Homo-oligomer: A and B are copies of this chain.
Amino acid sequence: MKAAPEREVDRSVSQTVKAQLALRDQILSGALRPGERISELQAVETTGASRTPVRMALVRLEEEGLLEAIPSGGFMVKAFSERDISDSIELRGTLEGLAARFAAERGVSARELEPLKECLAAIDELLRQVPISIESFSSYVALNARFHALLTELSRSPPLVRQIDRASALPFASPSGFVMAQSALPEAQQILIIGQEHHRVVIDAIENREGARAEAVMREHARLAVRNLRLALRNRTHLDLLPALALIKTATD
């Protein structure tokens, strides 16, 4: 007879997934500072999983780009420069531009565009109230992420979708990420409206099968987001709203 296990296991999801989610949350919430070495034993304690699934999760997070392997062994939380983030946003916009081009060139039925338009309308509805409340802003973030995900899917290109997912793994490279960065700024309202205009144009371009125009507007969309992130980083008034900002190493670090 073995000793009764102290650890209570949640069998509904795999331990590996549980550990991965828990660790990612710890990183993005700022509980683990960038540059900090992640102790496996500590991760075992906090996640409740055993060392093997924890290690698998660490490997996945490294591939995701949130962790960095230490040559002597183990992993540390990755730190990003401001340019890293803006490059990531531009990169994502470029990929989404390609997705939009694929969608336009390959043709999309009206039925497939329907969910996109619903998203668009729902966001329009949200933006009608000025100023936007915190609650409706979080719905905006969700709707915006959904719009981008749907748009990506329209490309019908699994490799591209996969790559865009990877590019979105980095905080702030994802649409919800940079949108959130804008939230605390007074200019946010205007920016969101311009973003909606971009969304409208890309749908129109896809409908009319204008690949180049669809691509161009998504890249412009990303450039808007980059300018915006810069602005958001200048006045760091929203660090409490978005702890993941701590991942960005500033000049003082």
Residues of A within 8 A of B (CB): 52, 55-56, 59-60, 63-65, 83-84, 87-88, 90-91, 94-95, 98, 102, 157-160, 162-163, 166-167, 170, 173
Contact = CB atoms under 8 A, between A and B. Distances in A.
Nearest to A88: B159
A102 B87 CA distance: 9
Contact of A55 (B56, B94, B102, B163): B56
Given A56-B55, A63-B60, A91 B160 contact: yes
Given A63-B60, A94-B94, A166-B166, A159 B52 contact: no
| Residue in A87, A95, A102 with the greatest tally of chain B CB atoms within 10 Å | A87
A159 B63 contact: no
A87 B60 CA distance: 25
A74 to B, nearest CB: 13
Given A52-B52, A56-B59, A91 B84 contact: no
Nearest to A80: B159
The 7 closest A-B pairs by CB, nearest first: A63-B63, A87-B157, A88-B159, A87-B159, A59-B59, A94-B98, A84-B159
Contacts of A160: 87, 91
Contact of A163 (B60, B158, B163): B163
Nearest to A155: B87
Contacts of A102: 87
